[in-house]
Chain A
Amino acid sequence: MSKPSLEKVYQWLEEVKDPEIPVLSLVDLGVITNVTISDKVRIEMTPTFVGCPAIDYMKNDIIETLNKHGQEAEVDINFKKSWSSDLISEKGKIALKKFGLAPPPDSKLFTDLEILENAECPRCSKTNTELRNPFGPTLCRAIFYCNDCKEAFEQFKPV
């Protein structure tokens, strides 16, 4: 089998989704930090949160997907390049919003709780909202309430 191009590998990796947010590929999530192609495809990735329970699942999913495309693959999980919510691609942010999750604001703006208030509601796109809990159902989500929609929504946390 001939060596695939880097572009091709990234295309295949687009098929691997975040198990908790199935509209978001790992590439758009920003957790793939390096890809090298030699006798096999070597992928470096980094977790969104250190305690993320889905990391092993993602790793196996990458290997299975590449195997399916006839490639031998190896995944190394490390912290060489540390993940930040700023690494989510624009395409990824749009996908998050469609999924009903408010995309994360610029993490550099986040210095205090006040900054986290007034996230944009993914339903009505307005910011008449309030932070209810910086800790949500998974490590990467916070809970907000929209005063216009009178409903709670979740935000992908800036980190």
Chain B
Amino acid sequence: MNNEALKELLYKMADDQLILGHRNSEWTGFGPLLEEDIAFSSMAQDKVGHSLALYTILQELGEQDPDTVAFTRNAEQFHNSLLTELPNGEYDFSLIRHFLYDTAEALRFEMLTQSSFEPLAQLSAKIRGELRYHTMHANTWIKQLGSATTESITRLQKSLEYALPYALGMFEKSPFENALISEGIFAGEQVLEDKWKRKVEEVLAQTQLQLPAWDTITPHLGGRVGKHTEHLQPLLDEMSEVLRIDPTAEW
């Protein structure tokens, strides 16, 4: 099995989950209503847990331990998509990002249940079940607020248009795309992107939100190769703040 290809895939997935998990956790204590506060906090815990499980597989493939990998790399060593690192902004943006991201993530893990790399297939079968709660949560609120008041529709529409180029960046092709596909590890970003577009169209069709034509959107790429926005490094600094006080402390 092509280990380099496999590692690249695992890193980008783990980094996505870790970074968005951290962003979700920033809603703790700030949600627009208590239930949403709890929902984003729970999803944060799930996502950070998923990243840990993926970093653990990486460790078994010879990478450093999960804490070192999560807390000591710089922004240019992270492979998360730019979508996940953007600041939370208002609730409308966080909700749109949650919807666009989790739709893709649920489909990605669904595809990976078929992976020829057994540990990833097993983990994906598990995570797939958990992500149903995330996509269900996103779809419920998108359908509700996407058809509610002029204000809610206008706000979501604006956030949707802002987020879409970043969302398409999630499917930035890996240099190992062919190896992943031919070895049956992962069916590839193109297949995932197509599935994702159909799902996004299906949900948005049940709202008053307008989806621009796909070919009018230019993807914001770079995240998968470590070229990030100015928002990632401050997030990493904050995430590793406690560790850096005393890196050798026993917890």
Contact = CB atoms under 8 A, between A and B. Distances in A.
Contacts of A159: 129-130, 132-133
B50 interface: yes
Of listed B38, B48, B127, B133, residue having the most chain A CB within 10 A: B133
Interface string B125-151: 111011011001100100000000000
B90 interface: no
Nearest to A135: B42
Classify chain B's interface size: 20 to 34
A interface SS class: loop
Given A51-B48, A51-B50, A134-B137, A83 B39 contact: no
A82 B38 contact: no
Which of under 10, 10 to 19, 20 to 34, or 35 or more describes the interface residues of A? 20 to 34
A78 interface: yes
A113 B136 CA distance: 7
B227 to A, nearest CB: 29
Nearest to B126: A82
A69 interface: no
Interface of B: 35, 38-39, 41-43, 45-50, 52-53, 119, 122-123, 125-127, 129-130, 132-133, 136-137, 140
Nearest to A110: B132
Interface of A: 46, 49-53, 78-80, 82-84, 107, 110, 112-113, 132-137, 139, 143, 157, 159
Nearest to A46: B126
B38 A79 contact: no
10 contacts: A50-B49, A50-B53, A50-B126, A82-B126, A110-B132, A112-B136, A133-B38, A135-B35, A135-B137, A143-B35
Contacts of A137: 38
